[in-house]
Amino acid sequence: MTAALYERLGQTYQEARRADPRIADLFAPVSDLLAMLPGATTRPVMIPEDCHDGFVQAFWKRPHALLDPEVRSSMALFGRMQSEDVDDRIQRLRADLEDGTWKERNQALLGASSVDLAHRLVVWTRPA
């Protein structure tokens, strides 16, 4: 994944956090976890294109699924956002999918079979 793509993904997350600060507490900063677990390490968790879990990033290659309210209904991210903000983002996604904007913006993703979307596995062994 390119640095520009990481930057855009980060901007999208920051935009969502600004729209509704309740989103900010969905994910603990990895640095906070590492501070609590001396000697812990992290490993990237690659998200495959056909990930069947229900978290938002599982649909990175199937964004059309996010148009379905039933798919979104179990996602904490959408549950914590104001409904008007969700509606606005879904309308923008729908428009971007219909006019090809989404595909154009995400060319770097289209050939990938898995991506690093900043999910981390924290590995720690309790001291004896």
How far from 43 is each of 39, 52, 124, CA to CA, in Å?
A: 13, 21, 11
pLDDT, one tens digit per residue, over 41-52 is: 999 999 999 998
pLDDT at 72 over 90: yes
Domain ranges of the chain: 3-123
Tell me which CATH code domain 3-123 carries.
3.40.50.150
Taking 3-state DSSP, the helix, strand and coil percentages for the chain, each rounded to the nearest 5, stand at: 60, 15, 30
Please give the pLDDT value at position 19.
Answer: 57
Please give the pLDDT value at position 1.
Answer: 41
CB atoms within 10 A of CB 120: 15
**Distance separating alpha carbons of residues 16 and 18, to the nearest angstrom:** 5
pLDDT at 11 over 60: no
